[in-house]
Amino acid sequence: MKHTQSRAGFALPMAIFLLLVTTGAVMTTLAQTSTERRVSDSGATGERALVLAESGLARLDELGFDFASSVQDSARITMSDGFADVVMERVRAPTSTERAVFVVRARGVQTQGGWSDAPNAVRTVVRLGEWVEGTMQVHAGWTSLTGLRKNGNAGSLSGIDQCGVQSPVAGVAVPDSPGYSGHSGPVSGSPPIKSIGSTPGNAAAQVHIDWAGIVDGSALEPDYVYPDDGWPSDFDDWPVIYVDNPGSGFSLPDSGRGTLIVRGDLTISGSRSWDGIVLVGGELTSNGNNRVRGATITGLNVKLGETPGESDVGNGNKSYVYNSCNVQDAMQSQASLRILDNTWLDTWAQY
């Protein structure tokens, strides 16, 4: 006989119970893992915010803050996973003997990569910096550590400030030997010809330019290194150009302005002109009716123990004159905020 009445069993309740237990265990494990990931991610995003803040400080140069005339400025740098708000504030005004001091701070905010309901990670770092104005000691319109030879009586080698701001300097500054030779008629200044020592070595000690540092790149960061970077196409910002031609000659390809630094010899031909500063390691040979308005120093390789030749100004209406405004404009492009070592801190008030 067949039973049609249903009979109670325990397989189904047992299976359901087992499923509940397993689900509970899995849920507990997931919750624990999730909590730990949040804690771990919280630390990681905090570190990332710190990196963003540090990146903000490192990119200070890109922000174009006017440290020369502003006392406060700010900018935001947006990055792939957040941003950095960079603020500069002057905390000490410049005095006649002291430079202006600024505090620069960057607040890094991590906006990506964290949990959706978690607040953004924020870190602020601070450093101090001082505004270093570009300055240059000018002995003369043309200072040559290895003497200067002038052919003909035309042209001008003048230490009288063409800009009319500063007191006159010498027209030419040279050592006693080799000194200045040739016609002295084109030379004017106070005095027209100045001795800066008996020998090129003595003269080198009087010219306070860190030529070795410039040559090895530690003292100055050029805007252009020729020939690697090519010749600049615009000179609006008074660029610093370093011509890397040790032991060979370089002919000025075009007129321009800024700071022209030539490791070897320099030739200026035709009617080309330069406004600003010309620093030459070797000798400068001038052909044609060219001119430099600013300050010229040649023979600087003496500072490296080398023996460059005497600079030579040929016949023609050449003009090498002191112009303090052009010198200042050229140096201004070299002014910068020097971040002070040992002034990092991350305890800036967050609110």
Q: What are phi and psi of 41, to 5 degrees?
A: -65, -35
Q: Hey, which residues between 288 and 317 contact other proteins (CB under 8 A)?
A: none
Interface with other proteins: number of residues (CB under 8 A): 36
Nearest distance from C-beta of residue 28 to other proteins, angstroms? 7
345 binds other proteins (CB under 8 A): yes
Is residue 25 within the footprint of other proteins (CB under 8 A)? yes
**For residues 71 and 205, which CB has a smaller minimum distance to other proteins in the complex?**
71
State yes or no: residue 343 binds other proteins (CB under 8 A).
yes
Using CA atoms, how far residue 245 sits from 116, 147, 302, 311, in Å, is 58, 21, 16, 17
Is residue 350 close enough to count as binding other proteins by CB under 8 A? yes
Secondary structure (DSSP) of 149-171: EE-SS-SEEE-S-TTSSSPP-EE
Question: The sheet that has 265-268: what strands, in order across it?
Answer: 180-182, 148-150, 311-313, 284-286, 265-268, 249-251
Tell me which stretch binds other proteins (CB under 8 A): 23-31, 143-151, 194-202, 279-287. Answer: 23-31
For residue 346, state whether it binds other proteins (rule: CB under 8 A): yes
Q: What angle do CA 22, 25, 29 make, to 5 degrees?
A: 140
Segment interacting with other proteins (CB under 8 A) among 13-21, 76-84, 262-270, 278-286: 13-21
First to last CA, the chain: 87
Which parts of 313-342 interact with other proteins (CB under 8 A)? 340-342
Among 20, 38, 62, 98, which residue sits at the site for other proteins (rule: CB under 8 A)? 98
Does position 61 bind other proteins by CB under 8 A?
Answer: no
Task: Extract the runs of DSSP E, i.e. beta strands, from 224-269.
Answer: 224-226, 240-243, 249-251, 256-262, 265-268
Residue 91 touches other proteins, criterion: CB under 8 A: yes
Classify residue 119 by its DSSP letter.
Answer: P
**Tokens 């016609």, located at residue:** 183
Tell whether residue 233 is a contact of other proteins (CB under 8 A): no
- By beta-carbon proximity to other proteins, the closer residue of 9 and 230 is 9
Binding-site member from 1, 2, 5, 10 for other proteins (CB under 8 A): 10
Among residues 16, 18, 19, 118, which is the contact residue for other proteins, using CB under 8 A?
Answer: 18
**Residues sharing a CB contact under 8 Å with residue 287, sequence separation 6 or more, in sequence order:** 267, 268, 269, 270, 314, 316
With the C-alpha atoms ordered 15, 21, 25, 28, is the resulting torsion angle positive or negative? Answer: positive
Based on the shown chain and the rule CB under 8 A, indicate whether residue 19 belongs to the binding site for other proteins: no
Q: How far is the CB of 62 from other proteins (least distance, A)?
A: 21
Backbone angles phi, psi at 136, to 5 degrees: -145, 135
Pattern of binders to other proteins over 35-54, x per CB under 8 A?
Answer: -x--xx--x-----------
Binding flag, residue 347, other proteins (CB under 8 A): yes
Binding mask 112-141 for other proteins (x = CB under 8 A): --------------x-x-------------
Q: Does 93 bind other proteins (CB under 8 A)?
A: yes
Q: What burial class does residue 97 get, using C-beta atoms within 10 Å of its C-beta: 0-12 exposed, 13-18 middle, 19+ buried?
A: exposed
Cα-Cα-Cα-Cα dihedral sign, residues 193, 197, 198, 202: negative
For other proteins, which is the closer residue by CB, 221 or 237? 221
Q: Which residues contact 286 (CB under 8 A, 6 or more apart)?
A: 267, 268, 312, 313, 314, 318, 320
* Residues of this chain that bind other proteins (CB under 8 A): 10, 14, 17-18, 21, 25, 28-29, 32, 36, 39-40, 43, 89-95, 98, 101, 103, 126, 128, 340-350
